[in-house]
Structures are given as structure tokens and as C-alpha cells.
Amino acid sequence: MKTGYRQQGMTFIGWLLLILIAAAFIMLFIRLFPLYLDSYKLSSILSGYEKNTQLVDMSSSEIVAKLSRQLKTDRVEHIGPENIYVVSAGNYTEIEVDYEVRVDFIGNLDLVVQFKKTAQIEGR
């Protein structure tokens, strides 16, 4: 004997797994978005520096201090003077910012993100 009743849809466990996976992705986005926003701010600052030919005449310590002040003003938290490297040669200056950020994710799991940005400034 066949009945016309047929169960359709997801079970409670299926819905629970779907919600847990969605929550993990939302948490991942919440943890990583500020880091990539800081990286975007740094990229825009460095692209502005590439157009500024007066930086070639500045010393390495002056460039590091100027960049550090600007990063502090823009509330970029994970980059310090120890992550900024400046190489000057004649009328050519290169600024490299290399840093790594580690944030807690869930329990003893951490997310590690590494960034490396470079600006090349040519003199007059």
C-alpha cells in the first residue's frame, strides 16, 4: 500500500549545520575585514607618496616618521616603524612595508595574514 505522504525539506540537523557554517563565515568576515581595510589605507597612502617627488630629498628616518604619523592619524593599528623599510639611492627612494597580523578566530585557532606593500619614488 502506497501513501501520498512524502517528507520534504531539510531536517533540524541540516538547518543547524547550515547556520553554523554561515556563522563561521560571518565571523571570518568580521575578523578579516578590518585587516584588509588597513591594508587598503596603507596602499592609498603609498600611492600618494609615489606622486610626491619631495620625499626623495628626505632622510630614511624622516620618511618613516612621516608614514608612521599618517598611519596613526588614519587609525591603522598593526603597522609600526619597525615594519617600514626605506632604501634611498640617488634620486630614487623605495618604501617597503612588510607586516604580519595574527587575530583570534575560534578557541585556539588563529588567523594569520601577511601583507607586503611597496612604493617607488623617483626624483626630479
Whether 5 is covered by a domain: the verdict is no
* pLDDT, tens digit (0-9, with 9 covering 90-100), for 21-41: 999 999 999 999 999 999 999
Q: Is 9 left (phi over 0), alpha (psi -120 to 50) or beta?
A: left
- At 43-94, the pLDDT tens digits run 999 999 988 888 888 888 999 999 999 999 999 988 999 999 999 877 788 9
- The Cα–Cα gap between 7 and 11 comes to 10
Compute the distance between CA of residue 56 and CA of residue 89 in angstroms, rounded to an integer.
9
Q: Is residue 18 part of a domain?
A: no
58 is a domain residue? yes
What is the extent of the structural domain holding 87? 35-122
Please count the structural domains in the chain: 1
Does residue 69 form part of some domain?
yes
Q: Is residue 76 part of a domain?
A: yes
In a domain, 20, yes or no: no
Cα(18)–Cα(24) distance, integer angstroms: 10
Residue 9 scores a pLDDT above 80: no
Q: pTM for this one? A: 0.80
